[in-house]
């Protein structure tokens, strides 16, 4: 119980700090935000009007409190460009980003986990050196450039996948899957590489443990030891890396959505920046960051469920 309340406490503290960082960064905007939004030729009255609408005539502390209490009650403010509540715009875009992240994480797991186990079992041979170099390459390739290469290969040359078209799930399931496949793969590449490296190291570390030696002495087959013993113990580190990968995928989707013209949060973020729609940018940045903190919090709680020793130690 103490472990749980400590985790909840740090979760709340971190989220509060995140919101303070986002809020204060947007306070630094040089000049009067109302002036910036309306442009140089706006008259005094218009500016005063907008200042009142944005609550800029209140003190900073009041502005922060009203922003946060708005967020908590689901009111994320009003977008300047779309003249719509920010929440409605986000709800429109979230399914796209989530689908992209979901397909990408599934691809990472499907490709990364078996390959990682395979590479760990071939340790010490030159195959593993080459595969290890390949994973380094996978980490080094910029995901958006890999996206270009995928478009060049699969859309331009072989015409197997659409390049810049988005099909919603509701319209056509397989069409949607096709439109998400290339961007998800581009996003997954570096995560697959990270997953492989991490899994390999974890399995190799576990192999040196006493319980593996005992299992070997008992005459168990290597395959049995890896799948029945090592992987169970490697599960906690794998969970950590999955938490990191989810956060990474959310961050990476910002660029990938722009490469493939997917109408998700990432492309909305960049459009809002160029149209100087600051309330929308501010809420989106906070939303994504809070989501990441929340995912880490859930991963922490899951540890606790999987391995009660953590709770006892804490």
Instruction: Count other C-beta atoms under 10 Å from residue 283's C-beta.
Output: 23
- Which tokens go with 199? 């899994």
Among 259, 262, 268, 299, binds another protein (CB under 8 A): 259
Token pair, residue 288, equals 């994504």
Contacts of 147 (CB under 8 A, 6+ apart): 182, 183, 186, 256, 259, 260
18 lies in the site for another protein, by CB under 8 A: yes
Token look-up 């977008």 returns 79
Tell the smallest beta-carbon distance from residue 187 to another protein (Å).
Answer: 10
Distance CA 147, CA 240 (A): 26
Query: How many residues line the site for another protein (CB under 8 A)?
Result: 50
Among 258, 301, 302, 304, interactor with another protein by CB under 8 A: 258
Measured distance CA(117)–CA(225) in Å, rounded: 12
Instruction: From 44-52, 82-90, 129-137, 223-231, give the range in contact with another protein by CB under 8 A.
Output: 129-137
Q: Pattern 196-235, binding to another protein, x per CB under 8 A?
A: ----------------------------------------
Distance in Å, CB of 309 to another protein, minimum: 22
CB nearer another protein, residue 176 or residue 252: 252
Binding mask 135-164 for another protein (x = CB under 8 A): -xx-xxxx-xx--xx-xx---x--------
Nearer to another protein, 96 or 225 (CB): 96
Verify binding: residue 129, another protein, rule CB under 8 A. Answer: yes
3-state secondary structure of 185: helix
Q: Which of 226, 177, 174 is nearest to 200 (CA)?
A: 226
28: contact with another protein by CB under 8 A: yes
Which 8-state DSSP code applies to residue 83? -
Residue 289 structure tokens: 């960051």
Residue 8 in the binding site for another protein (CB under 8 A): no
77 vs 84: CA distance, rounded Å: 9
Residue 34 CA neighbour count, 13 Å, CB half: 16
Q: Is the Cβ of residue 112 or residue 266 nearer to another protein in the bound state?
A: 266
CB-based contact 120:204 (threshold 8 Å): yes
Nearest to 230 by CA among 312, 108, 120, 132: 120
Asked if residue 281 binds another protein (CB under 8 A), the reply is yes
17 lines the binding site for another protein (CB under 8 A): yes
Residues that bind another protein (CB under 8 A): 10, 13-14, 17-18, 21-22, 25-26, 28-29, 124, 129, 132-133, 136-137, 139-142, 144-145, 148-149, 151-152, 156, 247-248, 250-252, 254-255, 258-259, 269-270, 273-274, 278, 281, 285, 288-290, 292-293, 296
């Amino acid at each position: 119980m103490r472990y749980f309340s400590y985790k909840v406490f740090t979760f709340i503290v971190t989220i509060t700090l995140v919101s303070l960082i986002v809020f204060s960064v947007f306070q630094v905007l040089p000049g009067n935000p109302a002036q910036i939004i309306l442009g140089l030729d706006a008259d005094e009255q218009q500016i005063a009007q907008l200042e009142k609408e944005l609550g800029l005539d209140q003190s900073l502390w009041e502005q922060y409190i009203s922003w946060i209490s708005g967020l908590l009650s689901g009111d994320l403010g009003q977008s300047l460009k779309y003249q719509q509540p920010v929440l409605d715009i986000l709800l429109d875009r979230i399914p796209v980003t989530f689908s992209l992240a979901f397909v990408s994480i599934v691809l990472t797991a499907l490709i990364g986990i078996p390959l990682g186990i395979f590479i760990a079992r071939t340790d010490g041979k030159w195959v593993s050196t080459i595969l290890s170099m390949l994973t380094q390459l996978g980490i080094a390739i910029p995901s958006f450039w890999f996206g270009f290469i995928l478009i060049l290969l699969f859309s331009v040359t072989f015409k197997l996948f659409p390049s810049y078209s988005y099909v919603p799930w509701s319209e056509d399931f397989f069409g949607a899957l096709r439109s998400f496949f290339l961007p998800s793969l581009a996003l997954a590449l570096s995560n697959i590489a990270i997953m492989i490296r991490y899994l390999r190291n974890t399995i190799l570390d576990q192999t040196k443990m006493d319980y593996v030696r005992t299992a070997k002495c008992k005459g168990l087959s290597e395959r049995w030891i890896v799948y029945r013993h090592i992987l169970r113990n490697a599960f906690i580190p794998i969970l950590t890396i999955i938490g990191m990968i989810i956060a990474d995928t959310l961050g990476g989707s910002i660029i990938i959505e722009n490469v493939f013209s997917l109408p998700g949060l990432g492309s909305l973020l960049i459009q809002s920046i160029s149209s100087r729609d600051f309330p929308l940018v501010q809420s989106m940045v906070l939303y994504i960051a809070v989501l990441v903190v929340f995912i880490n919090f859930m991963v922490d709680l899951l540890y606790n469920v999987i391995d009660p020793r953590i709770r006892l130690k804490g």
